[in-house]
Amino acid sequence: MNISEARTRIVATADELYNARGIQAVGMDELRAAAGVSLKKLYQEFPSKGSIVMAVLERRHKSWAEGLEATVGQVAAPRERLLAIFDYLAQWFCDDSFRGCGFINSFAELGAVSPDVAEYAREHKASFQEYVSRLADDAGAPTYLAPQLSILAEGAQTTAAIAGTAEAARQARSAAEVLIDAALGVTARRAA
């Protein structure tokens, strides 16, 4: 097994274990065994558990951004692109491994003791808000719409994780339709 294969396997295994049980509940020896690597190889790839956590967060960010963009990219109309955010959430919430947002969970678990985790979680959330802002801009919506839709999406993630149902995505999408139509109506009335 070459270095990149070992690194990829360790990160994927850590992501699975952390998502299922929490970061602090998973020890390095358990991770090593589940990934099928020696402890020496594990520490060659990652000098600390903190470095593994950061690699997992990077993987989650990439997966989130690619999945969201793939769903939104299937739609052409600007209004529908905004709503596609909630379609992506609905798909994600139905995944058997869904345990809520990994960034919210990591921040809750480690944010107070790990400035790196706290900062990465903030960066991830800020990048999502910037993405929604670009979509709202493309739709000709006023600037206040993007933060509203972002908060709605964040709330849906937390609600779905706690309730154990994907229903929050449908409800958030319905609320988003009202917000979008009201915002676009305001813009259209001002232009007239």
Q: Which two tokens stand for residue 85?
A: 């955010």
Residue 4 banded pLDDT, cuts 50, 70, 90 = confident
Rounded mean pLDDT, 132-137: 98
Q: Tell me if 145 sits within 8 A of 83, measured CB to CB.
A: no
Rounded mean pLDDT, 101-111: 96
pLDDT for 6 beyond 70? yes
Beta strands in 43-184 (DSSP E): none
- What's the rounded Cα separation, in Å, for the pair 119 and 43? 24
Look-up: residue for tokens 């259209």? 188
For 61, other C-beta atoms within 10 Å of its C-beta total 18
Q: Which two tokens stand for residue 161?
A: 């994780």
Long-range contacts of 38-43 (CB under 8 A, 24+ apart): 41/6, 42/10
pLDDT in tens, 11-61: 999 999 999 999 999 999 999 999 999 999 999 999 999 999 999 999 999
Q: How much is the pLDDT for 58?
A: 97
Q: Which two tokens stand for residue 117?
A: 């985790």
Q: Which two tokens stand for residue 27?
A: 């020890």
Q: In whole numbers, what is the pLDDT of the chain averaged over residues? A: 94
- What's the rounded Cα separation, in Å, for the pair 165 and 160? 5
Q: Let me know if 66 is exposed, middle or buried by CB neighbors in 10 A (0-12, 13-18, 19+).
A: exposed
- What's the rounded Cα separation, in Å, for the pair 149 and 176? 6
Task: State how far the alpha carbon of 126 is from the alpha carbons of 82, 113, 131, in Å.
Answer: 17, 21, 9
Beta strands in 74-121 (DSSP E): none
pLDDT for 68 beyond 70? yes
pLDDT in tens, 149-175: 999 999 999 999 999 999 999 999 999
Domains observed in the chain: 1-47 (1.10.10.60), 56-191 (1.10.357.10)
